[in-house]
Amino acid sequence: MSPRYTLRVPAPTPLRLFLSLGVVTLLLFVRPPWTNFVFDEQEAILANPYLLGEMPFWRVFYVDFWGLPPERTIGSYRPLPNLLWRSLSFSLKFHTPWALGFINLFLHAGTATLLARTVPWLLWEECENKTPRLQTSRLHALTWFAGLSFTVCAFSTEAVSGVVGLADVLVGFFSAICLWLLARTRAEETSSFSTWAGRMLLLFLCFILGLLSKESMLGTLCAVPLVFIFLFSENQKQSAVIWGAFSLVIVSALSLVSYVTLRNYFFLPEVKNILAPHWMPQYMASVFLWFAPLRLPDDPMNNPLVLLEGANRLTLGLATFFEQFFQVIFPWNLAGDYSFPRQSAKNMIPWGLLGGGVLIFLVVAVLVVFVRQKLSHKPSLSARCFALGSLWFLALYLPVSNLLVLLPTVRADRLFYAPTLGIVLMAVGIGARGGISQMKVRVALFFLSFHSVQARAHAFHYSDDVAFWRSASSGSPASAKSYLNLGVMVGARGDLDKRLQYTRFASELVPAWPMGQIYLGDTYCRRGEMPQAMSHYLRGFALAPQSKSLTSLALQCIWEKGAFDSNKRKLQDLAGEHPDTWLDYFVYELTENGKANRGIPAKYRPRKYNARRRGQ
């Protein structure tokens, strides 16, 4: 299709792209070998019974992302990441997730390669005289730019450097295959029935594997038929476009039915803890209950949108979108779904308007190009590439935006991983307009260099849990959740003075936060300052008497410090005000069986920091 080298731009062959982008990925995102378990890695890996070999290999379909059965689930159904981790689980004996992280790095390089290989199929279009509309040198430069832009994107650090981000990287990888396949099909002049059937089978496998990686693959299932219609609407017969889109809808539906059937058979054989809306007809309610997963608890700490309604929810959702979209381009800080309480509806109206403006602009860009194609007013290749990227971004981001459906978290950098494919295509569309100028080259080099520096800096934040939470605490406004966790990490290393400082600041940010009060009391307790500890413990008990983990943590420390008997009356009175709660039960257990059990029964005690299993 082109000479091997043109104007000193290497031809972007698949092997050359993968090796080059793989080296860049390793240089930017690999964590130090001494890294420990950060954030969700504590539960998803370190405390995962499946990865610790406590069940057979094939039981992966019977447990959730955290290795727990459905009656104890605190996460989602994602067998494929667990299956991949199990192959390297022997490395956990070194008490580090370092080896597991290479799966993310390998797949990230593969995703970037697939995206780069998609660009030639989108932009290489021949006229009647078979003369390329884009010069080969420009096409090569744009292909490399696409692969490098996605590879060095610092906003993807949480997905690539954080081992738990494997689920999102897998979704991005399978989504990139789908996008590459559609672009290649569009660029080919003819396609036999057997070729089309083979590609439908490949799409089906990508859909299934993506759904087994993470539920956000649903966005790709919706995006593929829309992208097909967009790509083929220009100069194809109407009947061919309709039948092609219809076959893609059928493949998407079959893959979704297959996934839900498998999930319900292995993981949710019993009635789920969710009810259909009262207004829903019976036949729709049956489908809803068949499809719906287990209901997860609404946690305002991770998603304050659950406390908002109407305009406030929309405003905060759009403001969060604008912040994240801006950080994709200018990734100043490491951020993620540990933002409580900095995400609030207060003073969010200007940012919400900006977020709404960006979304409207992207929708208009897609519609304008699509209408021009339908009216045979051939748009430029750059405009079509930009519009395609906008369509892909909208289709994959909106399902995880909290604007349509509430998720357990209001924001997480890793949720932007697959939608970033569309943002890169938008950048390629801008770069494809006009020729290659010195200004464009300088801007591209600055962009790639800036992201490379930020990506390496963010990856170093995953060196250990203290570095991670210290970086997460540097955001503005301050995050109570980040400061609380930072206090726990430094306290685990024996620095109770620093723990007191960070935990006190976290509780001051949100005085009515039960976890903040309990952990502040726990800090005083471990320092042996029981009067101050009891003051915060009692306040936390009153706010959350039904929390098993918080009440057991606090009461166990009270027992170990020998302060239970002197405070028994206060605890019994407070427990009496909250009958049939964990507080009531644990106070009774300590009164009757505390000496025999040495405090709280062992099966109810929280897992110690950085321990492999509960109770160790």
CATH code: domain of residue 518:
1.25.40.10
Whether pLDDT at 588 is above 80: yes
Are residues 173 and 71 part of one domain? yes
The whole-number average pLDDT for the span 154-165 is 92
Same domain, 433 and 497: no
255 shares its domain with 327: no
Query: Once rounded to an integer, what is the mean pLDDT over residues 157-171?
Result: 93
Instruction: Assess if residue 299 is contained within a domain.
Output: no
At residue 6 the predicted structure's pLDDT band, cuts being 50, 70 and 90, is very low
The answer as to whether 370 is a domain residue is yes
CA distances 579 to 263, 311, 428, 545, Å, are 37, 38, 62, 9
Cα-based distances in Å from 117 to 144, 145, 304, 606: 9, 11, 40, 49
- pLDDT (average), residues 376-390: 84
85 and 203 within one domain = yes
Mean pLDDT, the chain, whole residue set:
85
pLDDT band at 498 (very low <50, low <70, confident <90, very high): very high
pLDDT band at residue 283 using 50, 70 and 90 as cut-offs: low
User: Which pLDDT score is estimated for 275?
Assistant: 64
272 pLDDT tier (thresholds 50, 70, 90): low
Same domain? For 512 and 561 the reply is yes
Residues 495 and 424 in one domain: no
Number of domains the chain contains: 3
What pLDDT score does 396 carry? 93
pLDDT in tens, 103-122: 999 999 999 999 999 998 88
- Within a domain: 282: no
Is pLDDT above 80 for 284? no
What is the secondary structure of 317-375 as a DSSP string?
HHHHHHHHHHHHHS--S---S--TTT--STT-HHHHHHHHHHHHHHHHHHHHHHHHHHT
pLDDT at 24 exceeding the cut of 90: yes
Range of the domain at 426: 312-446
How much is the average pLDDT of 439-465? 90
Q: How many Cα atoms within 13 Å fall on the side-chain side of residue 146?
A: 38
Q: Is residue 452 part of a domain?
A: no
Question: Quick one: pLDDT at residue 477?
Answer: 67
- Using 50, 70 and 90 to split pLDDT, how confident is the model at 386? very high
Model confidence at 612: pLDDT above 80: no
- When mean pLDDT is compared across 261-270, 434-443, 559-568, the lowest value belongs to 434-443
- Provide the pLDDT confidence category of residue 236 given band limits of 50, 70 and 90: low
What local confidence, expressed as pLDDT, does residue 500 receive?
94
Q: Does residue 420 lie in a domain region? A: yes
- pLDDT for the residue 190: 60
Q: What is the band of 607 on the pLDDT scale with cuts at 50, 70, 90?
A: low
Q: Which amino acid is at 208?
A: I
pLDDT band with cut points at 50, 70 and 90 for residue 609: low
pLDDT of the residue at 613? 44
What confidence score (pLDDT) does residue 53 get?
86
Question: Among 298-302, 496-500, 577-581, where is mean pLDDT lowest?
Answer: 298-302
**Who has greater pLDDT, 606 or 272?**
606
Q: Looking at 96-110, 183-197, 509-523, which range is the least confident one?
A: 183-197
Return the biggest CA–CA distance within the chain: 94
Taking the C-alpha atoms of residue 341 and residue 208, their distance in angstroms, rounded to an integer, is: 36
Q: How far is CA 100 from CA 40, 104, 416, 464, 542, in A?
A: 14, 8, 22, 15, 42
Asked whether residue 327 carries a pLDDT value surpassing 90, the answer given is no
Share of the chain above pLDDT 70, in %: 87
357 with 428, same domain?
A: yes
**Burial class (CB within 10 angstroms; exposed 0-12, middle 13-18, buried 19+) of 300:** middle
- Rounded distance between C-alpha atoms, residue 417 and residue 171, angstroms: 8
| Among candidate residues 446, 468, 502, the one where a domain is terminated | 446
Q: Is the pLDDT of residue 334 over 70?
A: no
Question: Greater confidence, 45 or 289?
Answer: 45
* Inside any domain, residue 296: no
* 194 and 46 inside one domain: yes
3-state secondary structure of 9: strand
From 210, 235, 267, give the residue that closes a domain: 267
Q: What is the mean pLDDT of residues 456-480?
A: 84
Q: Given pLDDT bands bounded at 50, 70 and 90, which one contains residue 605? A: confident
Q: Is the dihedral of CA 503, 504, 510, 516 positive or negative?
A: positive
Given pLDDT bands bounded at 50, 70 and 90, which one contains residue 424? very high
pLDDT at 273: 61
Q: Both 494 and 413 in a single domain?
A: no
At residue 345, the pLDDT reads 52
Domain limit, last residue, from 392, 424, 446 = 446
Query: 335 pLDDT exceeds 90?
Result: no
Q: How far is CA 85 from CA 53, 158, 168, in A?
A: 11, 17, 14
Report yes or no on 275 lying in a domain: no
The verdict on 413 and 544 lying in the same domain is: no
Same domain, 555 and 484: yes
The pLDDT of residue 610 = 59
Q: Looking at residue 502, what is its pLDDT?
A: 94
Write down the pLDDT at residue 606: 74
pLDDT at 2: 38
The pLDDT tens digits of the residues spanning 531-567 come to: 999 999 999 999 999 999 899 999 999 999 999 999 9
Identify whether 200 is part of a domain: yes
- Same domain (yes/no): 261, 355: no
